[in-house]
Amino acid sequence: MPKVAVFNTKGEQVGEMELSDEVFGQPVNEAVLHEVVTMQLANRRRGTHDTKTRGEVRGGGRKPWRQKGTGRARHGSIRSPIWRGGGIVFGPHPRDYHYKVPKKVRRLALKSALSSKVGEGKIFVLEALELEAPKTKDMVQILQNLQAGKGALVVTEGKDEHVIKSARNIPKVKALPADQLNVYDVLYHPNLVMTKDAVAKVEEVLTSEVRRGHH
């Protein structure tokens, strides 16, 4: 079982914690990570891009000149795709990029991402994280105390508005509850800061599913 130090918000070590092998000690599967990150990014696309076909652009109602006798090429409309200002032939139109990969694959990818942070020594476990009010300055100080100031994903057990708002204005820092933990955010942020309760919650969710699958 991987062991990590547990810190307080001053950056002082106050203990150690054993992490679940099932969640934090998995081999890193790059193919699965790539598959899930690609899915997440595709699902964020709005798909509102649109180009006009020759039926949608303005003008071009009548034939620009007669069919024969002018010496010029024949044309039916000045809004045909070969004219400047004409329609677009194979341009993009609104579409939904959303797709899913199987739940098992998503879980495996999340375990891989978490295990990679443990392997790199980029996971910091906090005994607790309680802010009395949203304060960016306090969050900056805590991350500096942990030596995680160059960017971090801060994970709490439940949704903590004070923590989320305190992290919101810091570049490359994001806070979210354990049930919203995802592969892209874990990999994107250089450091992973989790409270002890958040670690317990993630382990419970990711291992309970495995046990259920064995029955």
Percent residues over pLDDT 90 in the chain: 90
The mean per-residue pLDDT over the stretch 187-212 comes to 87
The helix or strand, by DSSP H or E, that contains position 116, with its residue range, turns out to be helix 103-120
Kindly state the tokens that stand for 46: 């709005």
Kindly state the tokens that stand for 32: 């699965």
What pLDDT was estimated at residue 209?
A: 55
Nearest-angstrom CA–CA distance, 205 and 207: 6
Kindly state the tokens that stand for 214: 């064995």
pTM to 2 decimals?
0.83
Q: If DSSP codes are grouped into helix, strand and coil, which group holds residue 176?
A: strand
The helix or strand, by DSSP H or E, that contains position 118, with its residue range, turns out to be helix 103-120
C-alpha separations of 41 from 99, 135, 185 in Å: 10, 30, 11
70 Cβ neighbours under 8 A, 6+ residues apart: none
Chain segment 139-157, per-residue pLDDT in tens:
999 999 999 978 999 999 9
Name residue, tokens 């306090």: 138
What pLDDT was estimated at residue 89?
A: 95
- Per-domain boundaries in the chain: 3-45+101-214, 47-96
Chain segment 13-63, per-residue pLDDT in tens:
999 999 999 999 999 999 999 999 999 999 999 999 999 999 999 988 889
The helix or strand, by DSSP H or E, that contains position 16, with its residue range, turns out to be strand 13-18
What pLDDT was estimated at residue 211?
A: 53
User: In this structure, which topology does domain 3-45+101-214 adopt according to CATH?
Assistant: Ribosomal Protein L4; Chain: A; (3.40.1370)
Nearest-angstrom CA–CA distance, 77 and 61: 7
